[in-house]
A = this chain, B = another copy of it.
Amino acid sequence: MKKNIAVIIFSRANYARIKSVLKELKKNRKINLQIILGGSAVLDRFGNLEDAFKKDKLQIKQRCFFMIEGGSPSTMAKSTGLGIISLSTIFSNLKPHIVLTVADRFETIATAITGAYMNIIVAHTQGGEVTGSIDESIRHAITKLAHIHFPSSKQSYNRLIKMGEPRKNVFLVGCPSIDLINKKKLSIDNSFIKNFKYIGKKIDFNQKYILIQYHPVTTEYDLEQKKTEILLEAIHSLNIQAVWMWPNIDAGSDIVGKVIRRFREKSISNKFCFVKNLPPEEFLKLVNNTECFVGNSSAAIREGSYLAVPAVSVGSRQKPREHGNNVIFASHNKNEIIKKINIQIKKKGKIKPSKIFGSGDAGKKIAQILSNINIRPQKKISY
């Protein structure tokens, strides 16, 4: 009998972090892959992934709607609750042996709790990392619920061991997002513009541009409006065109979206190109060719370090995260952001690539381990 492995993809960001694993699981003849698409991944507002899956020939087994409107801390909790309720019905139906879940969002902890209570083995990627925001607590809680861990860096691996996870179930494999980097296909030119929908300026890809992605910090909910404005103004004052990636669905995302919209409508600025979503491989080209990657996206740290892209990480969200020397940090101050971006722009092409987040074979390794592992649901801390 084949092993049922359910993989939960609940956001665009999830997808880039797990796509290479899906491809390997699909190839494996001992495995029956069950893809569950839900959360913001099935919402048009946040870039429905249906088309991406069709293009990648990955069949979706079940869709799952549970995002509650409101973008507030209380709806984030409520969505977690509704996610658990929905997943428990779905798992009863699909009967997975293993569920694989990504990172540190409320969808992820909903999966981990449902799996743990239903005696399903929970496998988790990106455990052991340290960041700001509520993700920090959620990530470590998921670790304590998960049975199999696929950390993406040595520091994360060590942290998981320290937290009491049994060494035999922790596998240092690197980050699957690195697997998507195909060094032969990273160039960009003006034909690139056909690949996506945008609002605002049509970017000239023969010219220099900076790339921005900014996600709300949920424990600092009230400040998000102000912070987004500061970032917009800082970029606006630079003498360079800018591609701004739309934020993830999250508490605060409505506010960020609103600020961006207001800014667009009032502003005489024509330097911003706002992009809602891109296939991960296309996004990598944008990252690879930018003069500087600004904001608080973890891609700046992860893919950015492998690609040696200068980055300015703004604010507290990524603050404690392990990073390569492509990243410098700026507090949320307009002048400091401007100064740091100017420092980083000069480094373009001069940074050494880093392999701290893996060397491109994480997907293969994860599929292999899940295919062979035999493990019982009862966990026990190692000390």
Residue positions of A touching B, CB distance < 8 A: 40, 42-45, 62-78, 80-93, 106, 109-110, 112-114, 116-119, 130, 132-134, 136-138, 140-145, 159, 162-164, 199, 218-221, 249, 251, 254-255, 258, 265, 316, 320, 377-381, 383
A65 touches B69 (CB 8 A): yes
Residues on B with C-beta less than 8 A from A88 are: 74-75, 77-78, 81
CB atoms of B136 and A380 under 8 A apart: yes
- Complex: A355 Cα to B73 Cα, angstroms: 41
Number of identical monomers bound together in the oligomeric complex: 4
* A81-B83, A116-B137, A132-B380 given; 16 more Cβ-contact pairs under 8 Å: A45-B69, A67-B68, A68-B68, A78-B85, A80-B113, A81-B85, A81-B110, A81-B114, A85-B86, A130-B381, A136-B381, A137-B144, A140-B164, A159-B381, A163-B381, A220-B378
Residues of B near A221 (CB, < 8 A) are 119
CA distance A133 to B379 in the complex (A): 8
A109 to chain B: closest residue by CB: B113
Find chain B residues with CB under 8 A from A110 CB: 81
Give the contacting residue for A199; candidates B75, B118, B265; CB below 8 A.
B265
Choose among B66, B77, B137, B258 the residue that contacts A118 (Cβ–Cβ < 8 A).
Answer: B77
- Chain A at the B interface: mostly helix, strand, loop or mixed? helix
Interchain residue pairs A-B with the least CB separation, the first 8: A81-B84, A140-B144, A81-B85, A77-B117, A67-B69, A141-B144, A141-B141, A77-B88
Given A78-B85, A88-B81: A42 touches B70 (CB 8 Å cut-off): yes
Residues of B within 8 A of A380 (CB): 130, 132, 136, 320
With A85-B78, A93-B62 already in contact, the answer to whether A145 and B136 are too (CB < 8 A) is no
Separation in Å of the A69 CB from the closest CB of chain B?
Answer: 4
Distance in angstroms from A211 CB to nearest chain B CB is: 22
Once the chains bind, are A162 and B383 in contact (CB under 8 Å)? yes
Q: Which residues of B contact A91 (CB under 8 A)?
A: 74
Instruction: Kindly provide the distance from the CB of A168 to the nearest chain B CB, expressed in whole angstroms.
Output: 17
Instruction: Check if B76 sits within 8 Å of A117, measured CB to CB.
Output: yes
Q: Is the CB of B132 within 8 A of A378?
A: yes
A65 vs B144: C-alpha distance when bound (angstroms): 27
A333 to B300 alpha-carbon distance, docked (Å):
50
Q: In the complex the two chains form, what is the Cα distance from A137 to B166 in whole Å?
A: 13
Chain B residues near A114 (CB, 8 Å)?
77, 81
Q: Which residues of chain B come closer than 8 Å to A45, judged between CB atoms?
A: 69, 254
Contact status A65-B72, CB under 8 Å: yes
Tell me whether A82 and B80 are in contact (CB under 8 A): no
Q: Which residue of B lies closest to A221 (CB)?
A: B119
Cα distance, A28 to B251, chains bound together (Å): 35
Q: Which of B75, B84, B255, B316 contacts A65 (CB under 8 A)?
A: B75
Select A68's contact among B69, B92, B106, B142, beta carbons within 8 Å: B69
Taking a contact as CB atoms closer than 8 A, the residue among B69, B75, B145, B254 that contacts A141 in the complex is B145
> Could you tell me if B145 and A137 are in contact, using CB atoms closer than 8 angstroms?
yes
Question: In the complex, what's the smallest C-beta–C-beta distance from A332 to chain B, in angstroms?
Answer: 15
